[in-house]
Amino acid sequence: MTPPGAAYSRLFEHRSGRVIALCRLVMAMVFAIALWLDPMQPARADVFGLEVLLGYLGLAVVLTVVAWRSWWYDHLAAAPVFAIDVAVFLLAVFYTENSSSDFVSPFLSFFAFLMLAAIARWGWRVTAWLAAAISIAFVMLGARLHETGVVMDLFRFGRRIAYMVLMALVLVWFGSQRRATARPRFVAPDGQPASIPEDAIAFARAASGARSAALAWIDEEEPRAIVASDGPSGRSRSVLPPDALSAQDLGEALLFDRRRRRQLVLKDNGRLLARKGSEPPGAVQSMWFDEGISVPLSGATGHGLLVLSGISGMSADHAPFCLEIGREIALAFDREHYAAVANDAAVMRLRSSIARDLHDSVAQSLAGASFRLAALRNIIADGRDPLDELDSIRGGISGEQENVREIIKRLREAEIAPGDHSLALELGKLADQLARYWNVGIALGKADAGISASAPLIYEIQQLVREAVANAVRHGAATTIGVDLSRRRGQMALAVTDNGQGFPGGAEAELPRSLTERLAALGGTLVISSRPGETRIVMTIPVRGRE
């Protein structure tokens, strides 16, 4: 079943030439009938007046047929026919003007038709000039009628001039407020980026009513041109070298007729330029369309060409409309490209995050286990009981096993343990675990029990503490470590102090990579002060907006 309004859409949507021709025909017919029914009309020059008006009716019939059958002749005839419309308007007023002709005179309807036709064809600026010219011609016609002795109601004549000016102002304003051609929206199906050419062709065909379509696209980062087509003969896709599309192919939108060597080119100012004897761009010729619309595609990430053929009743109005379709398709290619770049960036961030987590937990856990096993070997060599040390190592490994599970959980879920938690409490648990694991003394400084943070932020801080403690024990041979936490003015300061041998370069030492990368991801900073017997690392993390 045909949807309501579909028939109207097929006949008149994007076909202003048809609408203008049909309005001209109806108006000529109604005016001719009005003259035929009124025995007092034409008011003067009976035979000549009827010949002009009946001739105009015949012309209106011919122009309606032309508008339905030929976009080329409809465009070429627009300007000369508009001049004829103006002349007939003035002649009609002349032949019907008398003291009682308000209901017969075509003044109001004819002038409105002229203004709307001009707006549809050439825009509001040209219409403003034409309105001024027609108004002046109307005043000159009134003066001529007065000179010939026609009895005129000057008040009514002045009122008509006022109507013309008012109507012209309103219609020109209306034309100036017209927005750009409504752009149909195209969003490629999620998860199918490779099918964008075919999806774009289906979208373009549905929006324009074309029976066949072809699309070529060159991504700026890919040394190839993807060419896809769809029509009554089926679908196809091929890959061509990037030089398959020349700069000429990407110039301007145009209607073309290869057999008759005709083109209507849409210029940047919105005007249509008729060309005869010109061949369409090479890429269009290679697609073997005899008649259709060629639209350049220009995006931030690539360029291409869209060709539509088999549009029933194709007219000049389709050029700007199909250009909007092309812009929407180019945007879809850009969105796909940016989504791929964002996905690659997300993968890189995830890889870096996993690498840091593995380094700060699993790698450090294995290093700690090796450290403790070496100490266990010395205990056994000295003949001491190793059970306590074995229990300590087992407890430490169990704790690290829970940490690895936490990492896996973070990878599987967007967020763990939603809500805020006590940071001091969580760090206290971590300090006890690390002290047992590394067999060192870890003192947690006085921290405000009210300091809380989200689970992801607590996890990041815990990983910073793990890495700092591991570095202090493994590289600095520290035996006592202090951890202090404070918060003020939207920042959280985490200080780790140890009694180890310090960094080889002191305060000028190279900053630990894992700590700097994690802090950079959090927007934080790292400051180190180091000398033999005391090393202090202060990590500052902005927390405003993270709660």
Rounded to whole angstroms, what are the CA distances from 222 to 204, 217, 240? Answer: 24, 10, 11
Q: Cα(364)–Cα(378) distance, rounded to whole angstroms?
A: 21
Domain boundaries, the chain: 6-177, 193-342
From the list 308, 315, 340, 285, the residue with the least C-alpha distance to 202 is: 308
Transcribe 97-155 into DSSP letters.
Answer: -STT-TTT--HHHHHHHHHHHHHHHH-HHHHHHHHHHHHHHHHHHHHHHHHTT----HH
Domain 193-342, CATH homologous superfamily name and number: GAF domain (3.30.450.40)
For residue 415, which phi and psi values (nearest 5 degrees)?
A: -150, 140
Q: Are 393 and 440 in contact (CB under 8 A)?
A: no
What pTM does this model have?
A: 0.57
For residue 273, which phi and psi values (nearest 5 degrees)?
A: -110, 125
Q: Are 48 and 92 in contact (CB under 8 A)?
A: no
User: What are the structure tokens assigned to 46, written together?
Assistant: 């009976």
Q: Are 35 and 42 in contact (CB under 8 A)?
A: yes
Per-residue pLDDT of the chain (547 residues; tens, 9 = 90+): 444 444 445 555 667 888 888 888 888 888 777 777 765 655 455 555 677 778 888 898 999 999 888 888 888 888 899 888 888 887 777 766 655 554 345 667 788 888 888 888 887 788 888 888 888 887 787 777 677 766 566 666 777 777 777 777 777 777 665 555 556 778 766 545 557 888 888 888 888 888 889 888 888 777 778 888 887 778 888 887 767 666 566 678 888 888 888 888 888 777 888 888 777 766 666 667 888 898 888 888 888 889 998 888 888 888 888 888 988 888 888 888 777 776 666 666 656 666 666 666 666 666 666 766 777 777 777 777 777 777 777 766 776 677 667 666 665 664 445 556 788 888 888 888 888 778 889 988 866 566 777 777 887 888 888 888 888 888 888 999 999 888 877 788 899 999 988 877 655 567 788 888 888 888 889 988 888 889 999 999 987 655 5
From the list 528, 476, 525, 479, the residue with the least C-alpha distance to 506 is: 528
Cβ burial 435-455 (10 Å sphere, 16+ → b, else e)? bbbbbbebebeebeeebbbbb
Q: Are 439 and 395 in contact (CB under 8 A)?
A: no
Reduce the DSSP state of residue 258 to 3 states and report it: coil
